[in-house]
Structure 1
Amino acid sequence: MVKSQPTSDAPSLAALAAELRITGGKLVRRLREQSHPGDFTSSQKSVLLRLDRDGPATVSALARAEGVRPQSMRVTVAGLESMRAVAGKPDPSDGRQTLVDLTPGFRKTIKASRAAKEDWLVRALQKQLSPDEQRELAAALKLLQRLTDF
């Protein structure tokens, strides 16, 4: 990790942090506008993202991962099941347990939502940034990735 001494033309780190937070928030909101709004709570969204990223899981495993009680997770999962976003099936290694996973239809919804967001972002990059600015953004993205992996 490289740490350099501040120079007279370097921005204040506090101001840079504030601008980064504000701009990141605006970008997230703009991307959300590009997909169809869902009626999901934040806990439901978190479970859906976890299942998409990590694959099928038991309600108990989801509760541990999300830091909630199993009873609360059962309520969250039941709501998602009623929306046909997730479904349960017997665990092949332990038939007493049920694995919860995204339904094929909901996977299609996620894919379409991500495609809409990426399409908007590609158009915005092409319209708002010159090729040189696009290269600068690519370099800055590597720095942002380092920050988020910290």
Structure 2
Amino acid sequence: MSDLNSAAALLRSINGKLARRLRESAPPGDLTWPQVSVLGYLVREGAMTVTELATLEGVRTQSMGATVASLQTLGMVQGAADPQDGRKTRYQPTDACLKLIAANRAQRDDWLLNSIATQLNAQEQHTLLAAIPLLQRLADQ
């Protein structure tokens, strides 16, 4: 059991380090990390209200309102009346936002591909590919 404890702690640490390296490989440009986080939710989950976003981020609605307003000013999100409750506004990413995110992801993918190709030999690459379904299973639970 001790080996599994050590492996879990090491995997968590490695995952965090890899996530930081990926973030560093494609910085958000003029966006803050809270703005990037909000855009990630909107792209993955679809249109949301400020209240829904605040709940997901664990911040006050007023703070999220300021973040969303700044994203609107930058042309990254647009609001539309909620079809079920016209008093609410649901925000979604703009085309400019989606292009920025696609470029950012491509930059991170390029960094990771280059790192795998240059830092791992053929056998290590094969081992890494074989581990991906296992890591996916852990991430999806």
Q: TM-score range by the shorter chain?
A: 0.7 to 0.9
CA distance in 2 between partners of 1:34 and 1:98 (Å): 34
Identify the match of residue 67 of structure 2 among 55, 71, 76: 76
Identity %, equivalent residues: 49
- TM-score in terms of structure 1 length: 0.77
Number of residue pairs aligned between Structure 1 and Structure 2: 141
Cα gap change, 1:123/1:50 in structure 2, threshold over 3 Å: closer, same or farther?
Answer: same
Return the offset for 1:99. 2.0
Deviations 1:61-117 (A, max 9, x none): 323444444333212211222232212133455543322111211111100000011
Paired position in structure 2 for 1:109: 100
For 1:1-150, what aligned pairs fall within 5 Å after superposition?
12-92=3-83, 94-150=85-141
Cα distance change on mapping 1:29 and 1:82 into 2, 3 Å = same
- TM-score relative to the length of structure 2: 0.81
Gap regions ≥5 residues in structure 1: 1-5
Larger Rg, first or second structure (1 or 2) = 1
SS of alignment partner, residue 132 of structure 2: helix
RMSD: 2.4
Amino acid at match of 1:32: R
3-state SS of paired residue (1:12): helix
